[in-house]
Amino acid sequence: MLEGIMVGLGTAFSLTNLLMVIGGCLIGTFIGMLPGLGPMSIIAIMIPVAISIGDPSAALILLAGVYYGAIFGGSTSSILINAPGVASTVATSFDGYPLARQGKAGKALTVAAIASFSGGTIGAILLMIFAPALATVALLFHSAEYFALMVVGLSAIAAFAGSGQVGKALLMTLLGLIMATVGEGALFNMPRFTMGVMDLQSGFGFITLAMAMFALPEAMYLVLDPSRSNTGGGSSEIKDLRITRDEAKAITPVIGRQSIQGFLIGVLPGAGATIASFLGYAVERNIASKEEQEQFGKGSVKGLAAPESANNAACTGSFVPLLTLGIPGSGTTAILLGALIALNVSPGPRLMVDEPQIFWAVIISMYLGNLILLILNLPLIPYIAKILAVPRNYLIPFILFFTLMGAYIGQNNATELLILVGLGICATVLRFADYPLAPLLIGFILGSMLEDNFARSMQLYDGLGFILERPMTLGLLALAIILVVLPSYRARRARLRAEGAADAD
Amino acid sequence: MTTWTLTRRAAIAAAAAALAFGAPANAEEKVLDSIHFLIPGGAGGGWDGTARGTGEALTASGLVGKASYENMSGGGGGKAIGYLIENAASQHGTLMVNSTPIVIRSLTGVFPQNFRDLTLVAGTIGDYAAIVVGKDSPINSMEDLLAAYKADPRGTAMGGGSVPGGMDHLVAAMVMQAAGEDPTAVKYIPYDAGGKAMAALLSGEIAALSTGFSEAIDLANAGEVKIIGVTAEERVDSYPDAPTMKEQGLDTTFVNWRGFFAAPGLPEDKLAAYQAALEKMYGTAEWEEVRARNGWVNIHNSGDDFRSFLEGQEQVIGDLMKQLGFL
């Protein structure tokens, strides 16, 4: 392996390849900041350029740089304007945006950058050491386990079910699950619940819904409720990158845990970065102490660090099935696989043996890409954060423009804009009535995967037998229950103890 | 929509063809000044790759002066069909790309129109279907698979990357029917993408997988799967180790085609020019490059041949879907 690493280092550190990583990272970061252009579309745009380079190592290094840059840039719009452009950064906005609203945009971006860097780097190290061994892990999960994993992911909504909000959060989750059933599912050959509207035949678009639930109501809120319209731009703290010692202490174990957990979830072809980010958020919230739990959803640095390290580690993890089995676990790795084949590289168990320089160059470039992203981005953060200091009568049209563009850009379908505005108005009303909107989006994103995997398991086992027949499924379902029940149990015990102490007086 | 068209090959096709560069070599005489391609799905899908790849070959070889592209997604492709029919008079310069789903979706009534409402230009490329098993599977031929199925019908599930009643399911059902089994009894497990179906096969969740042949070749080359049957008439040059269904005594052939349609009422001379351009394209080096890059198979059906091909496919698929209870 050492020999391989040396070959990889030699390849990755040539001048052209270094320029490729830097160029790729820059392109990825800037395009990735636009909502609506996720890593998948940016890589698709860059592939002809990469193929024209000819040298497979250089081409892959460029694409890996673009990939990391895009993931990195994607969290910026989530944090600054509450507009998550890709599903895997939805969880980032839960705590990132509240932090920005409190005038701590600089700090939020820094935490995100450090968490991303650590997640990506730890992921790359795990990939380097364990890739061949993990090929079997990738195939461990069947549909039944994926179903159970989605249930664990749903427990993330607990973060939005504060006191008196439980009913509202459940209602919104249900609404999200219902919306996920619109259109053609993977399991039926007829469209459902489209009410004859042709544009609903493919279901609601993720970007449209994310913009309608998060960014649009936020912009409208700023217009309709000027008293609460402080965008956080006035304070001088906005450019401040510094993280206090306490905060650093709080996020270090979170980043460590979530980098490993996120990586392992990324290895599973049916899960990916989005699930990893929700699970990371859910797990960290539910194991946090009572006081810290209160902060989740309101601007907790832990709540920001968890999904950011998890989604970056998961992106690295998704290279395991791609490089060792030739199976793409996500849309992005499917496109990367296409690029590999076009470059005459056959991914699979033989890649490491036949063309070690490519295998190792990719892994080294991951590490390098993460490092360069951190170096490039930290100095830029104050300038990016200053966007929020723009006066609100300029800022709001800017947010609206990005929101509408995000929904239109991928599909070129103007009806998406009508759906966006319609849903956005409903979402604004719900916001004023104090309904949390995040559970709706979580329900929507997990809904179709939940349904598909559940139905597949039912079909394979001719009924619900899979829950008892597969111990791992049962274990994961039990974990989901524990994650939801544990916090309230602990709270109750603490209360009882407090009462007991009072009685003793 | 993606379940139909976004194969891994197609994903590269789209990506690789997203930018068509290189100056026109003008090796061929110009047949048409310009073509506007209407793509019924978003960027990155199989239709997108086919249209852009064809446009690239046509312009680079000098057969067509200029190509432009328009992505019009919505309704799983239905929106573009409706648009082409409603604005037929102003769309004489437009070619729409489509594939096997136009036949299936018209049959199920998802599309209110069918291919007869459009002007048929030509079917240009295709891909065969294949049944594959994991490399460690004890199954080595269709005969083994059928024996396993007979021994344990409920435990021998077949998967695919399309909805029940979709292409991969129909192929699996056709094969079982040819073997004299009840096609409705086969347990078909749908996955929402080819990659996830492949992971399910390797993890042992399903016994066999119905998939596109070109997609299966990559994994067979990597030593991950065994192709136990391909739905071509004869063994295919790109992977001659794969036996056909026919040589194993199963009379099943199937081609997932892709081709081009124009607005209804297209003038004869315009239609002839489109068909001539596409026909001449096959002889060019530029097309060969695009085709090889994407792993497509040349399956050319022009004009009336295209019509009888589509009618034949509609008949076979329609009968099978009735039998399976999808119609």
SS (H, E, C) A294-360: HHCCCCCHHHHHHHHHHHHHHHHHCHHHHHHHCCCCCHHHHHHHHHHHHCCCCCCCCHHHHCHHHHH
CB pair distance less than 8 Å for B189 and A456: yes
ipTM comes to: 0.79
Cβ of A353 under 8 Å from any chain B Cβ? no
Q: Tell me the residues of chain A between 124 and 153 that have a Cβ less than 8 Å away from chain B.
A: 138-143
Instruction: Please tell me the total count of domains within chain A.
Output: 1
Q: What is the pLDDT along chain B (327 residues), one digit of tens a residue?
A: 333 334 444 444 444 444 444 444 455 788 889 999 998 876 666 788 889 889 989 999 999 999 888 888 776 788 889 889 988 999 999 999 999 988 988 888 878 888 999 999 999 998 899 999 998 899 999 999 999 999 999 889 999 888 888 888 999 999 999 999 988 888 999 987 667 888 899 889 999 999 888 878 877 887 889 999 999 999 988 889 999 999 999 999 898 899 999 999 999 999 999 999 999 999 999 999 888 777 788 989 998 999 999 999 999 889 888 887 777
In terms of DSSP bridges, do strands B225-230 and B208-212 run parallel, antiparallel, or are they unpaired?
unpaired
Answer left, alpha or beta for residue B316, where phi above 0 means left and psi between -120 and 50 means alpha.
Answer: alpha
Chain B hits for A199, Cβ within 8 Å? 74-75, 79
pLDDT at A5: 72
Q: What pLDDT, in 10s, does the model give residues A288-301?
A: 887 888 888 888 99
Cβ of A460 under 8 Å from any chain B Cβ? yes
CB pair distance less than 8 Å for B14 and A321: no
Residue B47, C-beta contacts closer than 8 angstroms, at least 6 positions apart? B5, B39, B40, B41, B77, B97, B98, B99, B258
The answer to whether position A492 is within a domain reads no
Cα torsion angle, B215, B218, B219, B221, sign: positive
Among all chains, which residue has been given the structure tokens 């636009």?
Answer: A34
CB pair distance less than 8 Å for A338 and B198: no
The answer to whether position A494 is within a domain reads no
pLDDT at B7: 44
Residue A233 has pLDDT above 60, yes or no: no
pLDDT, greater one: A458 or A327:
A458
| CB contacts < 8 A (A, B) | 178
| Candidates B8, B137, B225, B294, partner chain A, best to mutate (most A CBs within 10 A) | B8
State both tokens at A281: 């958020």
Query: Across chain A, what does the average pLDDT equal?
Result: 83
The answer to whether position A257 is within a domain reads yes
pLDDT at A1: 63
What domain range is A261 assigned to? 2-142+205-442
Q: Which of A400, A398, A391 is nearest to A226 (CA)?
A: A391
Per the CB < 8 A criterion, the answer to whether A402 and A77 are in contact is yes
Share of residues in chain A with pLDDT > 70 (%): 92
In terms of DSSP bridges, do strands B32-39 and B64-71 run parallel, antiparallel, or are they unpaired?
parallel
Chain A hits for B12, Cβ within 8 Å? 47, 335, 337-339, 341-342
- According to DSSP, the residues that pair with B132 across neighbouring strands are B209, B227
The answer to whether position A371 is within a domain reads yes
State both tokens at A16: 């052209």
Q: Tell me the residues of chain A between 245 and 284 that have a Cβ less than 8 Å away from chain B.
A: 269-270
Residue A235 has pLDDT above 60, yes or no: no
Residue B199: which of A184, A321, A462 has the nearest Cβ? A321
Distance from the Cα of A456 to chain B's closest Cα (Å) equals 6
Q: Which of A184, A125, A169, A237 is nearest to B108 (CA)?
A: A184
The pLDDT-based confidence of A162 (bands split at 50, 70, 90) is: low
Per the CB < 8 A criterion, the answer to whether A384 and A113 are in contact is no
CB atoms within 10 A of CB A162: 16
Identity of residue B103: V
Per the CB < 8 A criterion, the answer to whether B94 and B263 are in contact is yes
Chain A hits for B239, Cβ within 8 Å? none
**CA–CA separation, A190 and B321 (whole Å):** 13
Cα torsion angle, A293, A299, A302, A303, sign: positive
Identity of residue A429: V
Among all chains, which residue has been given the structure tokens 């990583």?
Answer: A21
Chain B hits for A191, Cβ within 8 Å? 76, 110
Among all chains, which residue has been given the structure tokens 């496109």?
Answer: A335
The answer to whether position A491 is within a domain reads no
The answer to whether position A161 is within a domain reads no
Q: Among all residues of chain A, which has the CA nearest to that of B153?
A: A460
pLDDT at A163: 60
Distance from the Cα of A131 to chain B's closest Cα (Å) equals 16
Q: Among all residues of chain B, which has the CA nearest to that of A204?
A: B74
Chain B hits for A335, Cβ within 8 Å? 11-12, 15, 44
Q: Among all residues of chain B, which has the CA nearest to that of A340?
A: B12
**CA–CA separation, B14 and A44 (whole Å):** 8
**CA–CA separation, B216 and B226 (whole Å):** 9
State both tokens at A34: 């636009």
| Candidates A188, A195, A201, partner chain B, best to mutate (most B CBs within 10 A) | A201
pLDDT at A239: 66
Per the CB < 8 A criterion, the answer to whether A218 and A427 are in contact is no
- According to DSSP, the residues that pair with B39 across neighbouring strands are B71
Per the CB < 8 A criterion, the answer to whether A202 and B1 are in contact is yes
The answer to whether position A410 is within a domain reads yes
**CA–CA separation, B49 and B54 (whole Å):** 8
pLDDT at A365: 80
Q: Measuring CA to CA, how many Å separate A354 from each of A342, A349, A366? A: 17, 9, 21
- According to DSSP, the residues that pair with B99 across neighbouring strands are B258
Residue A325: which of B11, B79, B224 has the nearest Cβ? B224
Angle at B249 between CA B243 and CA B254, to 5 degrees: 65
CB pair distance less than 8 Å for B16 and A342: yes
CB atoms within 10 A of CB B27: 12
When mean pLDDT is compared across A128-132, A237-241, B98-102, B196-200, the lowest value belongs to A237-241
CB pair distance less than 8 Å for A412 and B73: yes
Distance from the Cα of A448 to chain B's closest Cα (Å) equals 10
State both tokens at A379: 């100095």
Cβ of A31 under 8 Å from any chain B Cβ? no
Q: Tell me the residues of chain A between 395 and 424 that have a Cβ less than 8 Å away from chain B.
A: 410-413, 415
CB pair distance less than 8 Å for B110 and A191: yes
Q: Among all residues of chain A, which has the CA nearest to that of B159?
A: A456
The answer to whether position A280 is within a domain reads yes
The pLDDT-based confidence of A111 (bands split at 50, 70, 90) is: very high
Distance from the Cα of A276 to chain B's closest Cα (Å) equals 17
Cβ of A335 under 8 Å from any chain B Cβ? yes
Q: Among all residues of chain B, which has the CA nearest to that of A194?
A: B75
CB atoms within 10 A of CB A297: 19
Per the CB < 8 A criterion, the answer to whether B114 and B77 are in contact is no
pLDDT, greater one: A407 or B16:
A407
Per the CB < 8 A criterion, the answer to whether A388 and A232 are in contact is yes
pLDDT at A227: 62
pLDDT at A116: 92
**CA–CA separation, B249 and B256 (whole Å):** 22
Q: What pLDDT, in 10s, does the model give residues A468-503?
A: 889 999 999 998 888 877 777 777 777 787 776 655
CB pair distance less than 8 Å for B110 and A201: yes
Q: What pLDDT, in 10s, does the model give residues A360-396?
A: 877 888 888 888 888 888 888 888 888 777 887 888 8
CB pair distance less than 8 Å for A201 and B74: yes
Chain A hits for B187, Cβ within 8 Å? 459-460
Q: Between helices A301-317 and A56-81, what is the axis angle to 10°? A: 160
Q: What is the mean pLDDT of residues A133-151?
A: 87
Q: What pLDDT, in 10s, does the model give residues B146-204?
A: 999 999 998 899 998 888 888 889 999 999 999 999 888 889 999 876 678 888 998 89
